[in-house]
Amino acid sequence: MSLQIQENEAGVRFSVKVVPGSSRSRIAGLLGTALKINIAAAPEKGKANKELVHFLADLLAVSKSAVQVLAGTHDVRKEIQVTGISSQTLRQILEPYLI
């Protein structure tokens, strides 16, 4: 399977499965068509979501304001929107993590 990416006029949208409370934040591979990400923050008071946004912004070299959690703020499955990036660029950045 591969990561399902929807490109729109603003950027890209994709699904993630978050594993909060991990020892460190990192991409753990794919889970179906979603990107599995370990997050080194507790799932309380939005800490894991904040760390997820920060992690993805650093990884994708975009500002934190360019990364939004569109759906699933209180769930481990989330829909992410990243503005200012193409699906091709996203795939190139994530390729080393998805082998």
Question: Left, alpha or beta for 85 (phi > 0: left; psi -120 to 50: alpha)?
Answer: beta
CATH of domain 5-97: 3.30.1200.10
- Assess contact for 17 and 31: CB atoms under 8 A: yes
Give yes or no for residue 28 having a pLDDT over 80: yes
Is the predicted pLDDT of residue 98 greater than 90, yes or no? no
Three-state DSSP class for residue 63: coil
- Average pLDDT over every residue of 31-58: 93
Return the number of other C-beta atoms located less than 10 Å from residue 41's C-beta.
20
**Are 72 and 79 in contact, with CB atoms under 8 Å apart?**
yes
Q: What is the pLDDT of residue 6?
A: 94
pLDDT at 1: 60
Reported confidence tier of residue 5, pLDDT bands at 50, 70, 90? very high
Domain parsing of the chain, residue ranges:
5-97
How high is the pLDDT of residue 14? 96
pLDDT in tens, 47-97: 999 999 999 999 999 999 999 999 999 999 999 999 999 999 999 999 998
